[in-house]
Amino acid sequence: RLATARAPALRDLDGEAFVTWSPRGGRYFIDLLDRLFEAGGVQPRIVQRVNQVHAMLALVGAGIGVALVPGSARGNSMADIRLRPIALPATTGPELWLAWRGDNANPCLPSVRAAALETGEA
């Protein structure tokens, strides 16, 4: 039903069998999803935990449950899996940090930093 109905919303995941991240490999994502579900009043039924996106997609393809995966998973097309965007509150996005060596003399660094910081503010 989530693959063919209207665009899914977070509330549509309430009670769904859910494939999610393993605490060993995805603590950040588990915490992010926990906050998201709590804020949305969603109680997913966790049926499997894995460390990698392709394992998550394979389990979804096997009919084990649904999963929230990063947009980059679109490049991992698998038969019988439908990847659909889901509207999420803007505050739930991943936290990203830019790091560089303090003594880096690469002349491209200032423009890369500026582009990354500009993109991060959007």
pLDDT of 45-92, one tens digit each? 999 999 888 899 999 999 999 998 887 787 776 777 888 888 776 665
* Domain membership flag for residue 96: no
Q: Is the model more confident about 74 or about 39?
A: 39
Please enumerate in sequence order all residues whose Cβ is within 8 A of that of 96, keeping only pairs 6 or more positions apart, or say none: 120
* Claim: this prediction has a pTM higher than 0.75: no
* Domain membership flag for residue 14: yes
CA distance 46 to 99: 34
Task: State yes or no: pLDDT of 121 exceeds 60.
Answer: no
Q: What is the pLDDT of residue 30?
A: 87
Task: State yes or no: pLDDT of 122 exceeds 70.
Answer: no
Copy the structure tokens of residue 9.
């919303």
Q: Which residues pair with 116 in a beta bridge?
A: none
- To 10 degrees, the CA torsion angle through 99, 105, 111, 115? 0
Q: What is the pLDDT of residue 92?
A: 59
* Domain membership flag for residue 28: yes
Mean pLDDT of 15-24: 90
Model confidence over 93-111: pLDDT tens digits?
666 677 888 898 999 999 9
* Domain membership flag for residue 18: yes
* Domain membership flag for residue 111: no
The gap between the terminal CA atoms of the chain, to the nearest Å, is 33
If one counts the domains in the chain, the total is: 1
Q: What is the pLDDT of residue 96?
A: 66
The answer to whether the CB of 118 falls within 8 A of the CB of 98 is no
* Domain membership flag for residue 2: no
For residue 65, the surrounding DSSP H or E stretch is none
* Domain membership flag for residue 117: no
Q: Give the burial class of 68: count Cβ atoms within 10 A of its Cβ; 0-12 exposed, 13-18 middle, 19 or more buried.
A: buried
Q: Is the model more confident about 87 or about 12?
A: 12
Q: What is the pLDDT of residue 62?
A: 92
Q: What is the domain-level CATH number for residue 53?
A: 3.40.190.10
* Domain membership flag for residue 112: no
Copy the structure tokens of residue 84.
């659909």
Task: Give me the domain span that covers residue 17.
Answer: 10-91
